[in-house]
């Protein structure tokens, strides 16, 4: 008798280095993205689309941080949550290699204006999206009783194929090989990527992660279904070039989602919440705010300024903040489970967590996002640099947190084995 | 599933106190050692959240015997954080049966 975990359980866990490589790549991209913004502060103020280093900086966050984290988390967490067998680790390694090399090559192509290099990267990313969607489909087909999460993930993976195809076509057009017959493919791509693929994944995973981390059973399934229906309608309106109606319905869905998340949190069993919840709450507020700012852009004369700021709030304020908050809890948890996998007994996640760093990372990141938005609205490159420095420090500290957790895990393993 | 030969009776509503999980209402039973809950057929995160909420309601000398659809990987680190001990009673294709208890009460 003792705190042992049966060996059969490990059938649903990937070898630890696979999800950790996805996360490590994301955590390296986070400070790199801020560093690129610091260097490109002048360019960011004038940015209104187009290829180049500013686009590379933005995609450092969207592809480097967000996409790779979503890929890694879903490959690891979905089989555990849905009781499905995990995907073949060799196939997941293939996904890892294609996705990470695709991101690196694409961003290199963007930053140095090498359209054919970017084309190679975009092709690799399209291939990784296809493999990922196939993996998701395989997991979802075997999953039981998770209709809500399954619907979010399925819809998100469909949109992933649309945006990766559209992204590839835009790079093909940039390389002078094809003309896309539509007026604003970048806006369509950006909106669907943020609020479609990444948004739906975030909404879906929130239904598992938030009640689990806060220990709350206070969920509202009907409200969540309504949110999904309105989100789907908003995405369709965005696809069919009805931005005003899309944004209004998107704002409504975002409000319902954020409201439900706060409602779940209110019904929690844990009275004391860790510092990661500050940044998660901040992310929930930034989602509707981002849509409101984009909506203001469509209603005002200076559309570019507001749309650009709204997209930045969505990327850095909502999605990156949410992922920073969730990873702060998930990384020690995952490492604890991996210790259990090796010796049959988990380590306390709190022993793997550097709490003092967590108290700094969140506020620094939130400060960076706030300053950056203010700088964009008043078009001040100096404040963009100041914001980037705050973000850079937050990113570096988060990377340090990750490395310390790995070191503590190694020490715990040695102690527990001896 | 071959489970332990334990006499189950419907929960009379007094244990656990302040029970606020309508989804689990009919799945909760009183047994001699404490509470038994069948989480099979429920999706994540209900088994994890339900377990932790039930454990919070137990008295010192009581334990929770729970049936899970599969080994609850996410639960173990959380149990450790809360100072709970566990033993795997049964594991087969129909699920996993686990008893969760406080170390002091059983040593």
Q: Residue A187: is its pLDDT beyond 50?
A: yes
Question: Three-state SS for A181?
Answer: coil
List residues of B whose CB lies inside 8 A of any A CB. 20-21, 23, 41-46, 48-50, 52-53, 56, 69-71, 73-74, 76-81, 85-88, 91, 96
Report the chain B residue with the minimal C-alpha distance to residue A213.
B49
Q: Residue B18: is its pLDDT beyond 60?
A: no
Q: Is residue B95 part of a domain?
A: yes
Q: Quick one: pLDDT at residue A48?
A: 75
Q: Is residue B10 part of a domain?
A: no
Kindly list the residues from chain A whose CB atom is less than 8 angstroms away from the CB atom of residue B20: 217
Kindly list the residues from chain A whose CB atom is less than 8 angstroms away from the CB atom of residue B71: 5-6, 8-9
Kindly list the residues from chain B whose CB atom is less than 8 angstroms away from the CB atom of residue A412: none
Q: What total number of domains does chain B contain?
A: 1
CB-CB contact of B75 with B51 (8 Å): yes
CA distances from A313 to A262, A360, A392, B23 (A): 20, 20, 17, 37
In terms of residue numbers, what domain contains B53? Answer: 27-101
Average pLDDT, chain A: 91
Q: Is residue B31 part of a domain?
A: yes
Judged by average pLDDT, the poorest of A103-112, A156-165, A199-208, B74-83 is B74-83
CA-based nearest residue to A78, from B59, B1, B44: B44
List Cβ neighbours of B3 (8 Å cut-off, separation of 6 or more): B67, B89, B90, B97
Q: Is residue B16 part of a domain?
A: no
Region A15-29: mean pLDDT is 93
> What is the pLDDT confidence band of residue A340, given thresholds at 50, 70 and 90?
confident
- Predicted model pTM: 0.88
Binary contact (B77, A212; C-beta < 8 A): no
At residue A363's C-alpha, the angle toward residues A284 and A368, to 5°, is: 85
Tokens 């998107």 correspond to what residue?
Answer: A250
List residues of A whose CB lies inside 8 A of any B CB. 1-6, 8-9, 12-13, 80-83, 144-146, 149, 208, 211-212, 215-217, 269, 333, 336-337, 340, 346-350
Separation of alpha carbons A76 and A14, rounded Å = 6
Report the chain A residue with the minimal C-alpha distance to residue B19.
A217
Separation of alpha carbons A115 and B57, rounded Å = 62
CB-CB contact of A366 with A318 (8 Å): no
Q: What is the CATH number of the domain that holds B81?
A: 3.30.110.40
Å from B9 to nearest chain A CA?
Answer: 25
CA A353 to chain centre: 21
Judged by average pLDDT, the poorest of A23-32, A54-63, A337-346, A367-376 is A337-346
Higher-confidence residue of B78 and A392: namely A392
Per-residue pLDDT of A238-276, as tens digits, reads 999 999 999 999 999 999 999 999 999 988 877 778 899
Å from A336 to nearest chain B CA?
Answer: 7
Q: Quick one: pLDDT at residue B5?
A: 38
Report the chain B residue with the minimal C-alpha distance to residue A211.
B45
Nearest Cβ partner for A348 among B73, B80, B86: B80
Q: Residue A133: is its pLDDT beyond 90?
A: yes
Q: Quick one: pLDDT at residue B15?
A: 41
Q: Is residue B59 part of a domain?
A: yes
Q: Quick one: pLDDT at residue A357?
A: 95
Å from B18 to nearest chain A CA?
Answer: 12
At residue B61's C-alpha, the angle toward residues B57 and B62, to 5°, is: 50
Q: Is residue B12 part of a domain?
A: no
Kindly list the residues from chain A whose CB atom is less than 8 angstroms away from the CB atom of residue B78: 215
Per-residue pLDDT of A210-222, as tens digits, reads 988 888 878 888 9
CA-based nearest residue to A318, from A66, A64, A47, A27: A66
Region B55-80: mean pLDDT is 84
Binary contact (B43, A347; C-beta < 8 A): no
Q: Quick one: pLDDT at residue A80?
A: 73
User: Within 10 A of B56 (CB to CB), how many other CB atoms are there?
Assistant: 13
């Amino acid at each position: 008798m003792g705190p042992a975990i049966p060996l059969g359980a490990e059938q649903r866990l990937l070898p630890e280095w696979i999800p950790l490589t996805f996360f490590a790549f994301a955590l390296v991209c986070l400070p790199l993205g801020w560093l690129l913004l610091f260097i490109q502060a002048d360019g960011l103020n004038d940015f209104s689309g187009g290829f180049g280093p500013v686009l590379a900086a933005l995609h450092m966050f969207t592809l480097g941080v967000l996409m790779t984290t979503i890929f890694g988390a879903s490959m690891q967490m979905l089989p555990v949550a849905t009781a499905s067998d995990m995907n073949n680790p060799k196939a997941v390694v293939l996904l890892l290699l294609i996705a990470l090399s695709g991101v690196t090559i694409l961003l290199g192509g963007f930053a140095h204006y090498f359209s054919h290099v970017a084309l190679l990267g975009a092709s690799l990313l399209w291939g990784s999206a296809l493999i990922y969607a196939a993996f998701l489909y395989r997991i979802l087909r075997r999953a039981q009783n998770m209709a809500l999460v399954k619907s979010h993930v399925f819809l998100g993976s469909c949109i992933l194929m649309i945006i990766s195809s559209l992204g590839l076509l835009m790079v093909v057009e940039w390389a002078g090989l094809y003309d896309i017959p539509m007026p604003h493919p970048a806006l369509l791509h950006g909106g669907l990527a943020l609020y479609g693929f990444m948004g739906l994944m975030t909404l879906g995973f929130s239904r598992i992660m938030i009640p689990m981390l806060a220990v709350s059973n206070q969920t509202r399934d009907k409200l969540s279904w309504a949110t999904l229906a309105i989100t789907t309608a908003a995405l369709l309106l965005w696809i069919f070039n009805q931005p005003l109606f899309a944004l209004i319905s998107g704002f409504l869905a975002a409000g319902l989602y954020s409201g439900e998340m706060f409602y779940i949190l209110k019904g929690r069993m844990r009275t004391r919440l860790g510092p990661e919840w500050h940044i998660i709450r901040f992310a929930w507020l930034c989602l509707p705010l981002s849509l409101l700012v984009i909506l203001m852009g469509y209603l005002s004369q200076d559309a570019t300024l507001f749309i650009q700021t709204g997209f930045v709030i969505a990327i850095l304020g909502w999605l990156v903040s949410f992922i920073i908050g969730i990873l702060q809890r998930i990384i020690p948890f995952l490492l604890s489970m991996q210790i259990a996998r090796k010796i049959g007994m988990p380590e306390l996640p709190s022993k793997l967590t550097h709490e003092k760093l967590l108290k700094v990372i969140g506020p620094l990141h939130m400060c960076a996002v706030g300053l950056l938005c203010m700088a964009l609205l008043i078009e001040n490159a100096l404040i963009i640099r100041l914001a980037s420095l705050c973000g850079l420090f937050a990113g570096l500290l988060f990377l340090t947190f990750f490395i310390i957790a790995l070191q503590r895990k190694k020490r715990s393993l040695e102690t527990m084995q001896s | 599933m071959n489970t332990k030969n334990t006499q189950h009776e419907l929960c009379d509503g007094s244990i656990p106190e302040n029970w606020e999980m309508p989804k689990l209402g009919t799945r909760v039973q009183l047994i001699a050692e404490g509470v038994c809950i069948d989480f099979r057929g429920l999706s994540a995160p209900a088994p994890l959240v339900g377990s932790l909420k039930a454990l919070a309601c137990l008295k010192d000398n009581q334990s929770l015997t729970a049936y899970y659809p599969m080994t609850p990987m996410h639960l173990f680190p959380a149990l450790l954080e809360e100072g709970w001990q566990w033993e795997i009673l049964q594991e087969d294709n129909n699920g996993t049966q686990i008893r969760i208890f406080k170390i002091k009460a059983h040593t």
